[in-house]
Amino acid sequence: MSRDALQDPDLHRRRRQRLLDELGDGLLLLPTAAETLRNGDVHHEFRPGSDFQYLTGFPEPEAILAAWRTAKGRHRAILFVRPRDPAREIWDGKRHGLIGAKKAFGVDEAREFGAFWRDLPELLAAHDRLFHRLGAYANFDRRLLDCCKGVAFRHRRRQPPQHPTITDPGPAIAGQRARKDAQELAGLRAAAAATAAGHVAAMREATPGMHEYEVQAVLEAEFRRHGSPRNGYPSIVASGANACVLHYHENDRLMRRGDLLLIDAGAEVGGLTADVTRTFPISGRFSPAQAAVYRAVLRAQLAGIRACKVGATWDAAHRTCIRWLTKGLVELGVLHGRIDALIAKGAFRPWYMHGTTHWLGRDVHDVGAYEDARGRAERLRAGEVLTVEPGLYFGRRDRKVPAELRGIGVRIEDDILITAAGPEVLTAAVPKSVREVEAACQSASPF
């Protein structure tokens, strides 16, 4: 049975009810992601879409949730799923089937996936509003719109002929997912623990003469050993100047003495992912120039984390980090002038070109609004989780910086839970101070 199954019928029923109460009367349709071909007979690994996972816990491809509110506090949910198929299951593994899906995932009814398009007109005809997010699955959208047209045609005696009004449920689902519930916080904590173990193992095992992908294997083996079936996103294992490529993914360079290694990697557990970056010296000690850059980024990151308070705007950490990074760039001899004037003209941008925070959860760049309808920055609320990830990146041929800084890229990233008592660093177990990082790099392998 799939490692993504989360069989907690009450939890998913409660989530659906809350969503439908917010949306009001109408039919919610939510298909999951489809399997996609990678090459030949090989598929990309399947992982349910995050909204679908959040509202059903059902782990298989080719599934659709249809749900609607029946009365305040009640709703009806139908899950369309693949039927049992002993011949197919010999090849692809066990399916829940209709009986299993109804029993394990707390829906009122399970029907065959193949019956969905046959049953849809009747479901649509019973509702004036349709809650469906257009744009995720083009084929599904096309068939759904055809079906809506057919429903309007059959109702042509009404003036004017009507198909249901289509409303995007995305913002309501995002609003609900933004503040993590107990199951999600447990997943995030477990993901953080697995991620910490992986980063510590990478610090311990990385040495000159290894390829980046060998360190990736050590890191991800540790994620798996700690209960993580997959990563939340592809690991970035970037040594030397590769650290200056923000989403570096080749991971194939042979590492050399004196290199820094930047690893941005997060384990996924229970559908939730961590997102952690550490930068460390594979020979065990930072050079003076590397340590100076590292300390400038660390100081910014610690100040950024402190800014993550209930009621602060979501980008308070970004503004704080920019101030400290600009100060750091002056101290490193890269920038010259008054801090406020340098910030006002964005003088830091050649060396700090990305944002500092994003929401984190089921998706590494999780759902959640950054602005309200009037364009004002959202304010942080208890239960939200975001990253704080400043960095400084000096390209190998950057003639605008002192020679000893060239080729150094440093990012430090942690995952922060907003609480009434202040920011809680979920990933605090990953070594971070210069002393902790050097000690982890110099520690002996337990094997």
Catalytic machinery residues:
41, 247, 264, 275, 354, 358, 365, 389, 393, 411, 413
Question: What Å distances lie between residue 195 and 142, 270, 358, 446, CA to CA?
Answer: 40, 14, 18, 18
69: three-class secondary structure by DSSP: strand
Cβ proximity to ligand GLY, 27 vs 262, nearer residue: 262
Residue 264 near ligand GLY by CB under 6 A:
yes
CB 350 within 8 A of CB 400: yes
* Binding at 4: pick from ligand GLY, Mn ion, none (beta carbon under 5-8 Å per type): none
d(CA 82, CA 92): 12
Site string for ligand GLY, 343-362 (x = CB under 6 A): ---------------x----
d(CA 241, CA 179): 37
Contacts of 122 (CB under 8 A, 6+ apart): none
In the complex, least distance from residue 358 CB atom to ligand GLY, rounded to whole angstroms:
6
Site string for Mn ion, 218-257 (x = CB under 5 A): ----------------------------------------
Question: What Å distances lie between residue 292 and 165, 199, 330, 351, 408, CA to CA?
Answer: 58, 22, 12, 15, 11
Residue 389 near ligand GLY by CB under 6 A:
yes
In the complex, least distance from residue 28 CB atom to ligand GLY, rounded to whole angstroms:
30
Cβ proximity to ligand GLY, 184 vs 413, nearer residue: 413
Residue 366 near ligand GLY by CB under 6 A:
no
* Binding at 117: pick from Mn ion, ligand GLY, none (beta carbon under 5-8 Å per type): none
In the complex, least distance from residue 327 CB atom to ligand GLY, rounded to whole angstroms:
23
* Binding at 301: pick from ligand GLY, Mn ion, none (beta carbon under 5-8 Å per type): none
Spatial CA neighbour of 416 closest among 363, 372, 357, 365: 357
- Taking CB positions, which residue lies at the least distance from ligand GLY? 264
Q: Among residue numbers 120 through 159, which ones bind ligand GLY (CB under 6 A)?
A: none
Cβ proximity to ligand GLY, 23 vs 265, nearer residue: 265
Contacts of 422 (CB under 8 A, 6+ apart): 309
At 365, phi and psi to the nearest 5? -100, 90
Residue 264 near Mn ion by CB under 5 A:
yes
Residue 245 near ligand GLY by CB under 6 A:
no
d(CA 274, CA 223): 11
In the complex, least distance from residue 231 CB atom to ligand GLY, rounded to whole angstroms:
10
Question: Looking at 202, 274, 316, 364, which residue binds ligand GLY (CB under 6 A)?
Answer: 364
Residue 259 near ligand GLY by CB under 6 A:
no
Cβ proximity to ligand GLY, 51 vs 413, nearer residue: 413
Question: Looking at 220, 275, 315, 398, which residue binds Mn ion (CB under 5 A)?
Answer: 275
Contacts of 263 (CB under 8 A, 6+ apart): 199, 202, 215, 219, 235, 236, 237, 238, 277, 278, 279, 280
Give the number of residues written for the chain: 447
Residue 275 near ligand GLY by CB under 6 A:
yes
In the complex, least distance from residue 357 CB atom to ligand GLY, rounded to whole angstroms:
9
Cβ proximity to ligand GLY, 116 vs 351, nearer residue: 351
Cβ proximity to ligand GLY, 364 vs 410, nearer residue: 364
In the complex, least distance from residue 233 CB atom to ligand GLY, rounded to whole angstroms:
5
Beta bridge partners of 391: 411
Q: Among residue numbers 361 through 390, which ones bind Mn ion (CB under 5 A)?
A: 387, 389
* Binding at 233: pick from ligand GLY, Mn ion, none (beta carbon under 5-8 Å per type): ligand GLY
Cis peptide upstream of residue 208 (ω within 30 degrees of 0): no
Pairing state between β 230-231 and 267-269 = antiparallel
CB 273 within 8 A of CB 366: no
d(CA 425, CA 273): 14
Cβ proximity to Mn ion, 315 vs 413, nearer residue: 413
Beta strands in 180-322 (DSSP E): 230-231, 236-239, 260-265, 267-269, 272-273, 276-281
Site string for ligand GLY, 408-427 (x = CB under 6 A): -----x--------------
Burial 308-343 (b: 16+ CB within 10 A, else e): bbbebbbbbbbebbbbbbbbbbbebebbeeebeebb
Contacts of 416 (CB under 8 A, 6+ apart): 305, 308, 385, 386, 387, 388, 423, 424, 425, 426
Cβ proximity to ligand GLY, 61 vs 304, nearer residue: 304
Instruction: Round to the nearest angstrom and report the end-to-end CA distance of the chain.
Output: 33
Q: Among residue numbers 204 through 233, which ones bind ligand GLY (CB under 6 A)?
A: 233
Q: Which residues bind Mn ion (CB under 5 A)?
A: 264, 275, 387, 389, 413
Q: Which residues bind ligand GLY (CB under 6 A)?
A: 233, 264, 275, 358, 364, 389, 413
